[in-house]
Amino acid sequence: MKLYAVSDGPPSLAVRMTLKALNIQYQLINVDFCALEHRTEDYAKMNPQKEIPVLDDDGFYLSESIAIMQYLCDKYAPDSSLYPQEVNQRALINQRLCFNMGFYYAPISAHSMAPIFFDYERTPMSLKKVQNALEVFETYLERLGTKYAAGDNLTIADFGLISATLCLEAIDFDLQQYPSVAKWYNTFKEEYPQLWEIANSGMQEISAFEQNPPDLSQMEHPFHPTRKTKA
């Protein structure tokens, strides 16, 4: 098994935490995002979307971090509490996974990650979208009243949400106004230090880039505007 991943990419980190939690042995292959290795034709043979990560399980290629996490649990740990078979539990986990990708991680990434690497600005509107996402997550946690995002047990939904939230920590965003989110985030760090080690490695890279953004002025990205160096 091989995982093509980027070291500071939240979707890649979520999959890596899943592999670690399931104790699955695999080869980690770093994809150089800045060198656009994921935009090559060879990479497109594995994933026509040319996005990261991609799982290669003995010639079976699978992209999209949610699908990869679900696949790993279904194939290698069908009885795992990370992705239980019970219909209502699984439905809630699936909802949280979808919530993260479409409603939570998307505005967080646009506000935190995009301005680091490309010619985007953090604006009052981008901040408002992050605050809205956090308010909804806060409500979910309050209403459910459990330790983790989809119950008292850790699930793959938490891996996606943790990977998104660490982007905010990397830019020194204060979670104090969202006490349930802050408690959930810190509980994960305390209870699963080996998994947090994976997440933290990415967070530290993002934090370093926040302080010293990479020079990607020579990159010709197909849909992100590159920031030109000042004369």
* Average pLDDT of the residues in 25-46: 84
- 228 domain-assigned: no
Domain assignment of residue 167, yes or no: yes
pLDDT at 39 (0 to 100): 76
Structural domain range at position 62: 2-76
* CA pseudo-torsion sign 49, 197, 165, 158: positive
Kindly report the length of the chain. 231
Q: What per-residue confidence (pLDDT) applies to 230?
A: 54
Q: Is 77 helix (H, G, I), strand (E, B) or coil?
A: coil
**pLDDT (tens digit per residue) in 68-94:** 999 999 999 999 999 999 999 999 999
Distance CA 5, CA 13 (A): 8
Whether 96 and 72 map to the same domain: the answer is no
Are 93 and 199 in the same domain?
Answer: yes
pLDDT, residue 110, reads 95
Q: Are residues 92 and 33 in the same domain?
A: no
pLDDT digits (tens, 9 = 90+) for 155-211: 999 999 999 999 999 999 999 999 999 999 999 999 999 999 999 999 999 999 898
Lowest-confidence pick of 4-8, 64-68, 218-222:
218-222
- 31 and 93, same domain (yes or no): no
Whole-model pTM: value is 0.93
Structural domain contains residue 34: yes
| Chain center to CA of 3 | 15
Give me the number of domains the chain comprises: 2
Query: Does 100 fall in a domain?
Result: yes
Please indicate, yes or no, whether residues 101 and 154 belong to a single structural domain of this protein: yes
Q: Tell how many helices (H) and how many strands (E) occur in the chain.
A: 10, 4
- Integer Cα distance of 25 and 94 in angstroms: 25
Q: Report CA-CA distances (Å) from 226 to 52, 183, 184, 212.
A: 19, 37, 36, 16
More confident residue, 118 or 42: 42
Query: Could you give the 3-state DSSP secondary structure of residue 208?
Result: helix
pLDDT value for 44:
85
Residue 231: per-residue pLDDT: 46
Same domain for 178 and 94, yes or no, is yes
**Contacts of the segment 107-112: beta carbons below 8 A, 24+ positions apart:** 107/132, 107/133, 108/133, 108/164, 108/165, 108/167, 108/168, 109/10, 109/164, 109/167, 112/167, 112/168, 112/170, 112/171, 112/173, 112/206
The Cα 150–Cα 140 span in angstroms is: 9
- Looking at residue 187, its pLDDT comes to 98
Average pLDDT of the residues in 45-50: 83
Residue 196 located in a structural domain: yes
Instruction: Give the up-direction half-sphere exposure of residue 78: CA atoms within 13 A in the CB hemisphere.
Output: 2
**How does pLDDT run across 94-133, given as a tens digit for each residue?**
999 999 999 999 999 999 998 988 777 899 999 999 999 9
Q: What is the pLDDT of residue 216?
A: 66
Residue 229 has pLDDT above 70, yes or no: no
- Rounded to 5 degrees, φ, ψ at 60 are -95, 110
CB 206 within 8 A of CB 190: no
Does residue 199 sit within a domain? yes
**φ, ψ for residue 64, nearest 5 deg:** 70, 115
Is position 36 within any domain? Answer: yes
